Amino acid sequence: MSPEIILGLITFGIAIFVVSLLATRIKDKAYVVPFMVFLMVQGVVGLEPLVFAHFAQLELYYIALSGVLWMLIMPCIWLYIEGLTATYRWQLKRAHLLHAVLALFGAIVGAVVLCLPSESQFKIFYADDAQLKAGVEQFSAILVASLFLLWLVQSSLYIYKIFRQLKSYRADLRQVFTNETHKSLYWINVTLCLLIGSWVWLLMVLFSNFNEKIRFVSDVIPMILNLAVVWFFSIQALRQRPAFETVYQKLAEEPIDLARSKIKYQRSALGDAQSQRIADKLNNALVSDALYLNNELTLYKLSIHLNIPAHYISQTLNQTMKTSFFEWVNRSRIEAAQVRLSNTNDSVLDIAMAVGFNSRSAFYSAFKQQVGSTPSAYRKRENK
């Protein structure tokens, strides 16, 4: 059994196993449904070497099905990310079926190909354009080529949408939370890079099959990358929860101006004088009550503590104080950490936890951004 077949079977096995685990979560977590479809698509894509090597009678059926499968990949990833980053409890709706329109076109193209005589089917995929007969064969070849081009355009647009969505989502996180750990979704960036890498290498493999001068491209690499995508995506998705899940109700009851919301500060009745009073109260409370020490502090918890509407606090921070909730709280944490680094021998990790951070990496990132050096370098400089 070839390495490609083994890798494909492992990929398919992982996909089936993870889908069976996620199936128990569908009722309360609708966003896992498109991810389950994505996993099954990737699993079936991984079976290509097996089908071509041992099931020749299914080869054309598999090729016809491929158009549907490839057209579903990016819409499924997009819907999963949309659900994961939503500021409300996301549910599947009929409107989401529009994302499958091109998959339907893929099914039509596949059906047209299957209806052709076997000689014409062979010509479309393996012969030169000059060998195609005018009429049905050329029309079918144009459909197949159009499907490929549509997939390229569709994938590019969805990738752009996903990165734009993630950028806005991370900005929204900083309006509500002071802790981004397990919320920032940077692992999705890694997964998409792996996925794109597998596609690029697969295209190189296909190109080499039609060009006798190129024989250095390995068929195993795209299978390894596909396995890596399914494995890494599955591990992360099994433990990932929507970041805004804990504040769905609060965001519905007291909406604030987020990058992806329709609520705007211009509609607020908050005046400049009142905003300045709130700013003074915020700064006093953060220090005197040591609120920054709470690593689970959110905008809404602060709102309850001060008895000030959340949207007033958010507006004051963004418009009067020119900062986000995340940056404002972490500034006090870093200042407290600087004092401890200069006056104690506590470890950097102990200090990070003591001032409100819940991970070493988050502390290092925030400290370097605000101070311009690492905590260790700052301590060394201050203790000279």
pLDDT digits (tens, 9 = 90+) for 282-303: 988 888 888 889 888 999 999 9
C-alpha span between 291 and 288 (Å, rounded): 8
**198 near 226, Cβ under 8 Å?**
yes
Q: How sure is the predictor about 105, in pLDDT bands with cuts at 50, 70 and 90?
A: very high
Domains, the chain: 3-248 (1.20.1070.10), 250-382 (1.10.10.60)
Average pLDDT, integer, range 35-61: 90
pLDDT reported for residue 123: 67
**The two three-digit tokens of residue 337, written as one number:** 């950490």
Percentage of the chain beyond pLDDT 70 is: 89
Residues contacting 183, CB < 8 A, separation 6+: 173, 177, 243
pLDDT digits (tens, 9 = 90+) for 235-278: 999 999 999 999 999 998 888 888 766 655 555 667 778 888 99
**The two three-digit tokens of residue 197, written as one number:** 């890498």
Cα four-point dihedral sign 353, 86, 42, 141: negative
Percentage of the chain beyond pLDDT 90 is: 52
Q: How sure is the predictor about 58, in pLDDT bands with cuts at 50, 70 and 90?
A: confident
**374 near 368, Cβ under 8 Å?**
yes
pLDDT reported for residue 197: 87
pLDDT digits (tens, 9 = 90+) for 209-229: 555 555 555 678 888 989 999
Whole-structure pTM value: 0.89
